[in-house]
Chains A and B, each alone.
Chain A
Amino acid sequence: MNAAAVGAAPHVRGVSARFDDLLGRRVSMRALALLRALAGPAVLLHLQPFLSDTLDGRTYRDAFYEPYAAWYPQLPDAVYVGLLWLAVAAAVAMSIGFLTRLATATTFAIDTYNLFLSTTHFHNNRAYLVIVLGLMTVAPCGRELSLDAWLRRRRGRPALDPSAPAWPLWLLRFECAAIYGASGMSKLVDPDWFGGTVTWQRVVRARDQLEAWPLPDWAVSALTDRGFHTGAAKAIVLTELFIAVGLWWRGTRYAAVWVAVAFHLAIEGSASVQVFSYLAIAVLVIWAVPSTRDRVLRIDPTAAGQRRLGAVVRWLDWLARFRVEPAPAGSRLEVVDRDGTTIRGATAVAFRLSRLPLTAWFALPALLLPAVRRARRGGRNTVTVAVAANNPLSER
C-alpha cells in the first residue's frame, strides 16, 4: 500500500514521489560496467588462498572453522572445490562481460556462500566484495564494456539501452560512504583511538619494520613519538569522515575521491588488507556523474600533438565522459564542459586528464593552480555572457 492509498498528507506524498523518482530515474550504468570489469581481478585475488589450499588437497574443513548456523549447507569437498573453480570462471566471464548477468550472479552466489561458511572466512574486504557483487548482479551493467555488447554489434543487432533505473547505483554509493563513515565513527567514539593510543602502540610495536624502511632517523623518531599520534589519529578519523560525507556533494567530491585514493595507498603500504585497497579505489568510479558523452573535446586533426591527445582520451575515457570532435585546422585544443564552460590549451589538457579514471588522481591537483582556475572562470563567464546575450530577460 503506498502513501496515497492511506491518505497521507500531500507533503509526505511529495517526498515519497521524489524518492521514487530518484530510485527509478534512468541513469548511465557506465560506471558500474567499469566496476564490473575491475571487480573480476579482486574476486580472483580473494579466492587465491582458498584455491591454493584446494591444490594442496585441503579445504576449510580440514582445520578449525566455525559455521554461522548448523543448518547452513556444507557441500562435499569435491563439489565445494568445483564451486570455487566455477567462481574463477564466472569472475573472468564477469570481467570481460560474457553472459554478464549470469556470470555476475554466479560469482556473487558462490562468494557469498563461501563467506558465510565459517566465521573464520569473514574479513571486511570480502564483505565489501560481496556487497559490490550483489549490487552489480541487480544492475544491468553488461550492456557496455562487454563481450556481450560486442557480440551483439557483430550480429548486427541494435545495442541495448545502457541506462537503467538508478537505485543499484545509489545503494552502492550509500554502501561505499557507509563503510568510511562506520570506520571513522567507530574510531571517533573510542577515546583510545581518537586520543592516539591505538596508532602509537601499533607503530611502536612495528618499530623494527619501520627502521627497515629507507626513512631518516628524525622521521622514525617522529612516527614513534606519542605526541605525534595525538594529532595523527585525529587526522585519520577526520579523513575517513570527510570521505564519507564529502563524496555526496559535488563541491567536495573530487577532493574526497583524491583523499580516498591517497588514504588507501597509505594503508596498502603500511598494512595487510588483502583486496580492500584495490576494491575500494575501484569502487570510487561510481561517484562519477552517471551520464555519458556530455563533454566535448575538440581537436585539430592536422596537429599531431592534438591527435595524440585525442587518441589518449579514446583509450582512457573508460567512463565515456567525452565526445571527441574535429576542430578547424589551426585551432587550439578545446574542452567544453557539461555546463558549457569552454577551456583551451594547457588548461584543457589538465581538465581533460582530471576526468579520466587512470589520470585523475595526478591531474586533479593541477585544477587548483591559479592559472587553471582563472581559465575555467573565464570559460564560465563566457558562457554566462553568451546566455545573457541570447536571453534579454536574464540577469547578468
Chain B
Amino acid sequence: MRVVARRVVVVTVVVLQLGLVARGYWSDHKEFAFQMFPESSTWRADVVRVTADGRRVPIELPWSGYRWDELVQDRGLTYPQVRHHADAGLDNQLAFLEAALDWVADNTPRDGETRYLEATVTSWHNADPRRVEVLRSGVREEAG
C-alpha cells in the first residue's frame, strides 16, 4: 500500500509540474511555469474614470477620498502613466491591470459618480511596433 501511494505521489507531482510548465506557454499568470525574465516588453496606460455624465477624469486626481496609488500598490501598477517594464510579460501585466480596474471599481463605495474605469494601454512587445488597446472595468451600477 505504501509502495503504491509513494508511486502515485511521485508520478502526480512530476506530471503536475510538467503540466504547469506547459500551461505557462498560454496562460496570463504562469504559476509554477518558471519562465524567468521572459520579455523586455514595456507598457504605459492612461487610466481614467468615466462618470455617469460622460466626463473622463484621470485617476491621477484623487476622487471621493480615494487615490489610485493607495488603492493599487503592487505588480508595477501604482503609476500606470509611467512607462514600465512588464516584469512577467505583457500578457501577465495587462491581466493584472484589467483585474485592478475591476477591483477599484468594486471597492470604492463612496464614489457615486464613476460608471467605469478605462485604461488606454500603449505596449511595446520586445522590439515589435507599439500597440494600443483599451481595457475597461465592469460597469458600476451605483453611479448616479
Residues of A that sit less than 8 Å from B by CB:
2, 19-20, 23-24, 63-66, 119-120, 122, 124, 127-128, 131, 165, 167, 170-171, 174-175, 178-179, 182-183, 185-187, 190, 192-193, 197-202, 205, 271
14 pairs from A and B in contact (CB 8 Å cutoff): A24-B3, A64-B104, A122-B31, A167-B10, A170-B10, A174-B13, A186-B33, A186-B35, A186-B36, A186-B38, A192-B126, A199-B40, A205-B40, A205-B42
B 72-113 to A, binary, CB cutoff 8 A, 1 in contact else 0: 111101000000010000000000100110011000000000
Check A192/B39 contact, CB under 8 A, given A119-B99, A186-B24.
yes
CB-based contact B126/A178 at 8 Å: no
Task: Tell me the bound Cα distance from A201 to B38 in angstroms.
Answer: 12
Task: Provide the residues of chain A in CB contact with B38, threshold 8 Å.
Answer: 186-187, 190, 193, 198
How far apart are the CA atoms of A185 and B42 in the complex, in Å? 23
Contact A197 B32 (CB under 8 A): no
B133 at the interface (CB under 8 A from A): no
Of all chain B residues, the one with the shortest Cβ separation from A204 is: B40
Q: Is B26 an interface residue (CB 8 A)?
A: no
**Residue among B40, B73, B96 making CB contact with A201, cutoff 8 Å:** B40
Contact between B37 and A198 (Cβ–Cβ < 8 Å)? yes
Q: Which of A20, A24, A64, A192 contacts B100 (CB 8 A)?
A: A64
Residues of B near A179 (CB, < 8 A) are: 34
User: In the assembled complex, which residues on chain A have CB atoms less than 8 Å from the CB atom of B33?
Assistant: 182, 186
* Known contacts A174-B17, A197-B127; A182 and B24 CB within 8 A of each other: yes
Kindly report which residue of chain B lies nearest to residue A124, judged by CB atoms: B34
Cβ contact within 8 Å between B77 and A64: yes
Q: How far is the CA of A202 from the CA of B143 in the complex (A)?
A: 43
Q: Which residues of A contact B71 (CB under 8 A)?
A: 63-64
Is B21 an interface residue when CB atoms closer than 8 A count as contact? Answer: yes
Note all chain B residues with C-beta closer than 8 A to A205: 40, 42, 85
Q: How large is the interface on B (under 10, 10 to 19, 20 to 34, 35 or more residues)?
A: 35 or more
Question: Which listed residue, A119, A167, A182, touches B21 by the CB 8 Å rule?
Answer: A182
The complex places the Cα of A170 from the Cα of B6 at a distance, in Å, of 12
> In the complex, A185→B17 CA distance in Å?
14
- Interface centre among B9, B25, B37, B85, by most A CB within 10 Å? B37
Q: In the complex, what's the smallest C-beta–C-beta distance from B108 to chain A, in angstroms?
A: 11
Chain A residues near B13: list those with CB within 8 A: 171, 174-175
Tell whether, in the assembled complex, residue B39 and residue A198 are in contact, meaning their CB atoms are under 8 Å apart.
yes
Nearest chain-B residue to A198 (Cβ)? B40
User: By the criterion CB–CB under 8 Å, are A201 and B7 in contact?
Assistant: no
Q: Is B29 part of the binding interface, using a Cβ–Cβ cutoff of 8 Å? A: yes
The reply to whether the CB of B70 lies closer than 8 angstroms to some CB of chain A is yes
Of the candidates A2, A186, A200, the one having the most CB atoms from chain B within 10 angstroms of its own CB is: A186
CB distance from B23 to the nearest CB of A (A): 11
Chain B residues within 8 Å of A128, by CB: 34
B99 and A64 contact, CB distance less than 8 A:
yes
Q: Which residue of B lies closest to A21 (CB)?
A: B3
Are A19 and B7 also in contact (CB < 8 A) when A64-B100, A175-B17, A178-B21 are? yes
| Residues from chain B with Cβ under 8 Å of A24 in the complex | 3, 6
Q: Closest chain A residue to B18 by CB distance?
A: A178
Q: Which of A2, A65, A131 contacts B103 (CB 8 A)?
A: A65
Cβ of B14 within 8 Å of any chain A Cβ, yes or no, is yes
What residues on A are CB-neighbors of B75 within 8 Å?
Answer: 120
Tell me, in angstroms, the Cα distance from A171 to B13 when the chains sit together.
Answer: 8
Q: Which B-chain residue is minimally distant from A23 (CB atoms)?
A: B6
Residues on A with C-beta less than 8 A from B72 are 63-64
Query: Which residues of the partner chain B approach A192 to less than 8 Å between Cβ atoms?
Result: 39-40, 126-127
A186 to B34, CA, bound (A): 9
The minimal Cβ–Cβ distance linking B88 to chain A, given in whole angstroms, is 8
Q: Is the CB–CB distance between B29 and A119 below 8 Å?
A: yes
* A66, closest chain B residue (CB): B99
Within 20-67 of B, Cβ neighbours of A (below 8 Å) are at 21, 24-25, 29, 31-40, 42
Report chain B residues within 8 Å CB of A19: 7
A38 → chain B, closest Cβ, in Å? 20
Closest to A135 in B: B13
Known: A24-B3, A167-B10, A201-B126. A66 touches B103 (CB 8 A): yes
> How many whole Å from A242's CB to the nearest CB in chain B?
16
Chain A residues lying within 8 Å of B100, measured Cβ to Cβ, are 64
A182 to B38 CA separation, bound complex (whole angstroms): 11
